[in-house]
Amino acid sequence: MARRVMIAGNWKMNGLAADGLALVREIDRRARAAPPACDIVLCPPATLLRAVSGVAAGGPVATGGQDCHNEAKGAFTGEVSAPMLVDAGAAWVILGHSERRHGLGETDEYIRAKVSAAHAAGLGAILCIGETKAERDAGATLSRLSSQLDASLPRDSVTGTNTVVAYEPVWAIGTGRTPTLAEIEAAHAHMRLWLATLAPAAADAIRLLYGGSVKPDNAATILAVSDVDGALVGGASLKADDFWGIVAAAPVAR
């Protein structure tokens, strides 16, 4: 099955109105002038989501949130719900990012509830999984990916169009280090096989992204790896030239 490549930019906690809007305007301008061969998703901070979505509306760039609560509304001070993201123009949401798993203590079960909430609101979920350096050194990478998929993926709502899985080795995020191409290929092949046991009807259509120090100079080789259906980009998504360099490296489909 052909899967259209996705390049998603995670701006994390970066961007005030002036620079955030300048960034999306430039990416949107390029995307409208020369529609890319891949899907583009920009995930700005929640404070910028409505404005960024407004700039991108009607064009080839979609927008997403960086997290959502597992409840649709309620007494949860400081939280943002999936319906709120939809109301602000989002089509996607990143869930289970390692910075929330390890920095904020989010469990697989909590992330699973968030994925379910995203699906219920009509959002696509970009579910992040990945091993720490200690797990990698212990030879536990593939078992860790299996356990995270087992516990984080809600079987009852997953389809090939509303779920993307992003493999992000924790030790590679923001460090400038990346696994070898063979290691990336092994991880993605394992995820594809494991998804076939968890969600057989959707497994072949679910896109698998790689994330972790993806840059214009390594994007083409990473995106050429079997079962790599795109990239979740952190730091390089904050500069239009860098992000567009990754977009330009994307094949039409896998």
Residue 181 has pLDDT above 80, yes or no: yes
For the chain, the domain total comes to 1
Domain range for 136 is 6-248
Residues 112-121: b if buried by 16+ CB within 10 A, e if exposed: bbbbbbbbeb
In a domain, 1, yes or no: no
Give 173's pLDDT tier (boundaries 50, 70, 90): confident
Give 174's pLDDT tier (boundaries 50, 70, 90): confident
Beta strands in the chain (DSSP E): 6-10, 39-43, 61-65, 92-95, 124-129, 163-167, 207-211, 230-233
Which phi and psi (to 5°) does residue 97 adopt? -60, 145
**Mean confidence (pLDDT) of the chain:** 96
Instruction: Report pLDDT digits (tens) over 70-113.
Output: 999 999 999 999 999 999 999 999 999 999 999 999 999 999 99
Give 61's pLDDT tier (boundaries 50, 70, 90): very high
Residue 172 has pLDDT above 90, yes or no: no
- Predicted confidence at residue 175, as pLDDT, reads 84
- Predicted confidence at residue 1, as pLDDT, reads 66
The residue among 211, 206, 16, 197 whose CA lies nearest residue 96 is 211
For residue 250, give both structure tokens: 């994307």
In a domain, 70, yes or no: yes
In a domain, 253, yes or no: no
Active-site amino acid positions: 97, 168
Residue 204 has pLDDT above 90, yes or no: yes
- CATH number of the domain encompassing residue 10: 3.20.20.70
In a domain, 238, yes or no: yes
In a domain, 82, yes or no: yes
In a domain, 254, yes or no: no
Instruction: Check if the beta carbon of residue 122 is closer than 8 Å to that of residue 131.
Output: no
Residue with token string 């064009």 = 59
Q: Give me the mean pLDDT over the 195-220 stretch.
A: 96
- Predicted confidence at residue 171, as pLDDT, reads 86
- Predicted confidence at residue 178, as pLDDT, reads 81
Residue 125 has pLDDT above 80, yes or no: yes
Instruction: Report pLDDT digits (tens) over 7-29.
Output: 999 999 999 999 999 999 999 99
The residue among 246, 240, 217 whose CA lies nearest residue 19 is 240
- Predicted confidence at residue 139, as pLDDT, reads 95
Three-state SS string over 21-84 comes to HHHHHHHHHHHHHCCCCCEEEEECCHHHHHHHHHHHCCCCEEEEECCCCCCCCCCCCCCCCHHH
On whether the pTM is more than 0.95, the answer is yes
206 DSSP assignment: S
